A and B are shown apart, each in its own frame.
Chain A
């Protein structure tokens, strides 16, 4: 067994000993004629209490589900900014704040930038170990809902979404835009842009910790985790020529076990967003995707 395997097995074992104890409360302000929104509190390893937004379409299910895994930002969105609210009429959606994000920031309030390198020299206590566990706990919770069709469950987000698909159970599809954990130590020196610049900042101030940082990051390396992903996966690559373009991500896409679609950004949130919305809808057997697109994206 590899060190990566042991690292995650310990985390998963610890998580399994921590009951979720969910509390679910309707939120009338965000409920509509077509969907009801709930605030959800549940426990993850630590123990640590998390928060998420669960939206259930009105009507007879079961429905396909989109699980929005914790993002690298302080704010927890109900659905991603710019997504048509009508998406909630066709999918169960669940967005989760990992520890440190707003609504899950007590006792740990993360900084952005800052979270990426906070405690990165100690793999055992690195906050992202807990955040990955949080994300897996969120998926587990979603799959307990009788409104969810377990044959149509999409996990969407950045690296944490893909790691969740690798380590958690029940994701049938994944949409991922790697940003943090793909060959991090190798790629960070090639850019001055955040979030990878956080690694450069950290190692400039703490050069003696480079070995420890590499050891921590090795546990999160997406290429190493990819063989455990059996879900059909859409990889949202950067634009051609960018640091994380399709060519750069080829080792990752080749290592994924399930079917893979690679989309290269056209540097348009419209074109890129439309592609991923259609990809999810097609896989979830939603025929009339036009009706749940933002007004300015409809044909």
Chain B
């Protein structure tokens, strides 16, 4: 039987009644941990036009988080800033290209990634299902907070304009863009590509590819834990976060995405609370979600919302 059109798919994700209370409590726990930011110049990655730093800061449970930070060299005044969030198994990139566009750019390595894995390292595959039966200890509880604390780092920097902070990423980075835009009102614009971590319980039926297949592996071996797993995942699903998003946001999906099913992208987009939202579906594209064409859209979007704002104030 042919699949239904992605736009017609109806997600099974239901937002828990105490969702806001749960995350409010997590945020309170995180707020008791001082950020203790540290910026270490990286001469190997620094050039005449771009300054690069290795950044470290503390997150919930006192886990030390690493990031790459690039800024245009010799810039006077405050700059717009971008947080880049990484894919599931990719190594966080050094965000020089964003600095070349005029942004102070932070590329976060949440716990478990290289350079942030001394205290927490469930590995890959495994991160997705690590402690998945308990929302209070699930791997993504801290992982999400690590990305939100990236905003705090940027706000601590004198060269960053706090009114012009954006967030972007693709795949897991797209899912983290959703959760960050939802939980941090300081985010003024967001661009999420091929969002992962959205529609977990839908995706494991729609596709049988890794990384989502990790959940199917777990449930095959532990079928009696399905209810606990589904309960936990509802608290971490980007679709549950989406109605909190108020900033301008764009989402791009590939209609032949074999990693993050496009159906989940549509379901997510429908739940996004912002009035200023736009979906870009790319037919003939998989998990790239039309990146080659969409990059120009993203650049123009952030230029309008983060660089244009400066002109308005002047």
With known contacts A77-B210, A85-B208, A295–B43 Cβ distance under 8 A: no
Contact with B along A69-82 (1 / 0, CB 8 A): 00001111111011
- Residues on A with C-beta less than 8 A from B125 are 30, 77-78
The CA of A32 and the CA of B218, in the complex, are separated in Å by 11
The CA of A267 and the CA of B254, in the complex, are separated in Å by 12
Judge if A107 is at the interface, Cβ distance under 8 Å.
no
Closest CB in chain A relative to B109 CB, distance in Å: 11
The CA of A201 and the CA of B44, in the complex, are separated in Å by 6
State whether A28 touches B221 (Cβ < 8 A). Answer: yes
The CA of A244 and the CA of B12, in the complex, are separated in Å by 43
State whether B254 touches A270 (Cβ < 8 A). Answer: yes
Closest CB in chain A relative to B233 CB, distance in Å: 18
Judge if A273 is at the interface, Cβ distance under 8 Å.
yes
State whether B292 touches A267 (Cβ < 8 A). Answer: yes
The CA of A269 and the CA of B97, in the complex, are separated in Å by 22
State whether B285 touches A269 (Cβ < 8 A). Answer: yes
Nearest CB in chain A to that of B289: its residue: A269
Closest CB in chain A relative to B89 CB, distance in Å: 4
Nearest CB in chain B to that of A103: its residue: B123
State whether A81 touches B209 (Cβ < 8 A). Answer: yes
State whether B286 touches A268 (Cβ < 8 A). Answer: yes
Judge if B19 is at the interface, Cβ distance under 8 Å.
no
Query: Which of A111, A204, A296 lies in contact with B286, CB distance below 8 A?
Result: A296
Query: Which of B89, B209, B292 lies in contact with A294, CB distance below 8 A?
Result: B209
The CA of A81 and the CA of B170, in the complex, are separated in Å by 14
State whether B288 touches A81 (Cβ < 8 A). Answer: no
State whether A85 touches B284 (Cβ < 8 A). Answer: no
- Residues on A with C-beta less than 8 A from B47 are 201, 204
With known contacts A74-B114, A268-B286, A84–B254 Cβ distance under 8 A: no
Size of the chain B interface, CB-CB below 8 angstroms: 46
Chain A interface, DSSP helix/strand/loop, else mixed = loop
Nearest CB in chain B to that of A110: its residue: B114
Judge if B11 is at the interface, Cβ distance under 8 Å.
no
State whether A202 touches B210 (Cβ < 8 A). Answer: no
Nearest CB in chain A to that of B255: its residue: A296
The CA of A86 and the CA of B207, in the complex, are separated in Å by 11
Nearest CB in chain A to that of B207: its residue: A295
Judge if B206 is at the interface, Cβ distance under 8 Å.
yes
State whether B208 touches A73 (Cβ < 8 A). Answer: no
With known contacts A77-B89, A84-B208, A269-B288, A297–B258 Cβ distance under 8 A: yes
Query: Which of B45, B217, B292 lies in contact with A29, CB distance below 8 A?
Result: B217
With known contacts A75-B124, A81-B89, A202-B44, A295–B208 Cβ distance under 8 A: yes
Judge if A150 is at the interface, Cβ distance under 8 Å.
no
State whether A29 touches B124 (Cβ < 8 A). Answer: no
Query: Which of B114, B261, B285 lies in contact with A112, CB distance below 8 A?
Result: B114
State whether B44 touches A205 (Cβ < 8 A). Answer: yes
- Residues on B with C-beta less than 8 A from A28 are 221
Q: Which of B143-166 contact A (CB under 8 A)?
A: none
Contact with A along B109-145 (1 / 0, CB 8 A): 0000011000000011100000000000000000000
The CA of A34 and the CA of B220, in the complex, are separated in Å by 13
State whether A81 touches B94 (Cβ < 8 A). Answer: no
Contact with A along B3-21 (1 / 0, CB 8 A): 1000000000000000000
Q: Which of A201-245 contact B (CB under 8 A)?
A: 201-202, 204-205, 239
With known contacts A73-B89, A296-B257, A268–B208 Cβ distance under 8 A: no
Closest CB in chain B relative to A266 CB, distance in Å: 8
Size of the chain A interface, CB-CB below 8 angstroms: 41
Judge if A113 is at the interface, Cβ distance under 8 Å.
yes
The CA of A29 and the CA of B256, in the complex, are separated in Å by 28
Contact with A along B89-106 (1 / 0, CB 8 A): 111011011001000000
- Residues on B with C-beta less than 8 A from A193 are 97
Nearest CB in chain B to that of A273: its residue: B286
Judge if B211 is at the interface, Cβ distance under 8 Å.
yes
Judge if A278 is at the interface, Cβ distance under 8 Å.
no
With known contacts A194-B93, A294-B258, A268–B123 Cβ distance under 8 A: no
State whether A85 touches B210 (Cβ < 8 A). Answer: yes
- Residues on A with C-beta less than 8 A from B256 are 268, 270, 296-297
State whether A85 touches B209 (Cβ < 8 A). Answer: yes
Q: Which of B223-243 contact A (CB under 8 A)?
A: none
The CA of A197 and the CA of B99, in the complex, are separated in Å by 15
- The winner among B123, B211, B288, B291 for most chain A CB atoms within 10 A is B288
State whether A75 touches B96 (Cβ < 8 A). Answer: no
Contact with A along B193-221 (1 / 0, CB 8 A): 00000000000001111110100011011
Closest CB in chain B relative to A185 CB, distance in Å: 18
- Residues on B with C-beta less than 8 A from A204 are 47
Nearest CB in chain B to that of A83: its residue: B209
State whether B218 touches A29 (Cβ < 8 A). Answer: yes
Closest CB in chain B relative to A210 CB, distance in Å: 15
State whether B258 touches A295 (Cβ < 8 A). Answer: yes
The CA of A271 and the CA of B262, in the complex, are separated in Å by 16
With known contacts A30-B217, A82-B258, A273-B286, A205–B43 Cβ distance under 8 A: yes
The CA of A205 and the CA of B256, in the complex, are separated in Å by 43
Top 3 nearest A-B pairs (CB, nearest first) are A270-B286, A294-B258, A267-B292
Residue contacts A-B, CB under 8 angstroms, 14 given? A74-B114, A78-B125, A81-B88, A83-B210, A194-B93, A194-B94, A197-B96, A204-B47, A267-B292, A268-B286, A268-B288, A270-B285, A295-B258, A296-B255
